[in-house]
Structure formats: C-alpha cells, structure tokens
Amino acid sequence: MSILHRNNVNVHGRSDGQPMVFAHGFGCDQNMWRHVWPAFADTHRIVLFDHVGAGGSDAGAFDRERYASLDGYADDVLEIGHELDLTDMVFVGHSVSAMIGALASVAEPEHFASLVLVGPSPRYIDDEGYVGGFSAEDIEGLLDSMDSNYLGWSSAMAPVIMGNGDRPELGEELTNSFCRADPEIARHFAGVTFRSDNRADLARVTTPSLVLQCRDDAIAPMAVGEYVDRELPDSRLVVLDATGHCPNLSAPDQTIAAIKAFLDT
C-alpha cells in the first residue's frame, strides 16, 4: 500500500510554494482544518492527511506495535514528507499532533522550517511541580468509559473538549467526528495520547515554534501552554481570545491571523 493512500494524503495550493502540513488531533480528521488551510493556499503547498484509523485513512494499516507511542505517528509524518519530497516545511499540529510534529522535527530537523503547535500538551497527567490538567484517576476513568460505551463517551466528551456551549453545532460536529473513527483504534490512540509524557523532548526541538493557546481550554489549560513555551528553545506564545480546545473550528480567523503573523517574522 502506498503511504499516500495509507494516510489519505491530499495536496492543494501552490505547487511550487513552501510546504505547509496540517495534522489533526485525536478523534478528528483533516476536515477539521477546512476553515484554515485555504487562507494559505495562494502562497503554500498545502498537505492534508489523516492519522491511521481516522477519516479516510486505511484502518487496515493499523499496527499496535508501531503505534504504541507517538513516535509511530511521527514516523508517518516523516514518511509522508519523504514521499512528497517536502523540505523547509511548516508543520501545523493540533492537540496531540503538536507533539507528534515536535517529535518528527527532532528526528529530522533539516526538513522543518517552523512548527505551529495548536493546544499542545507534552503530558496530560499532573505531576510534582507540573500541571497537566488531569489526575491519573481522571485519565483511567476516561479510558474505561471509552471501553464500556464509546458512542456515549463521544457524545458526553465532545462538547467539553470543544467548549463554546453557546454554539452547540461545534460540539455536535466533534461528536460526529469521534463517531466516524474506528472505535478500537481510537481507544488505543487515546491511551497512547493521554498517558504520554514528552516533556523531556521539548528541549530537543530546534525548529522555531509558535505555541497557540486558547484562554480557556479544558484539555490543555493555560499552565500547559506556558510550560511548552518555556521549555522550547525557540518559541513564541500567543494566547487566543477563544475558548475550548479546537480554535481551528471555533476561532479560525484568529488562528489564521496568528499563524500568518508568525510566518511573516
């Protein structure tokens, strides 16, 4: 199977433009970037893809051993880059894909020009001297709930993740996205995501980075965004006047403006 088929890769925009790769978060797919990527299509070569098990990817390519850590997903990003001969790329990663992109840039920094990390979290579980936003018990309860009733979990959690209770259609879209994912793969990806600890990797990132943080985010609170910005060697933190964990859907204009300002400098 081809790499491009495996990850349902779609290329848009300017064929000779600087590559700009958009990576979606847990439970989502490339469609979540539809309000953002067109703003860069005139100047960049846009690359969209789905993680294995999400969207239009080939779920048959899922391998528990390969995807036992976020490194397997970072390897996918690098393989897509090799297949398309991408260099000097701008990588835009939402949520867990922010750390996936960071890991990919550590492995092959020569291929990356900059990172845009939207709602990143190197560790979701609180630790001594570190606020991740969840206790270990919280995470295990979340995963148990997914095991017992994935659809029910999706309906309950999506509005919490999305925030913006005054715009229920956004939570509904995220719920539908969760429900489209392969439940077994989604549960595995959730375990890998929410139990991950990539704090030590931040210091190894040499690529200039933008950290985009919503002012009120139930999944990656402000303390996490500030931590990521503090630990990255070359980064800029921008706090969006937005709520929830998905500004690519709830505040696309702000997201676009912040990315453009970063790339311009």
182: Cβ–Cβ under 8 A, 6 or more apart, which residues?
53, 54, 59, 62
What the block records as the tokens of 46 is: 């846009």
Burial profile 205-234: b = 16 or more Cβ within 10 angstroms, e = fewer = bebbbbbbbbeebbbbbbebbebbbeebee
Rounded to 5°, angle at Cα 114 from 96 and 241 = 60
Rounded to 5°, angle at Cα 172 from 166 and 173 = 115
What the block records as the tokens of 244 is: 């929830």
Please list the active-site residues. 95, 217, 245
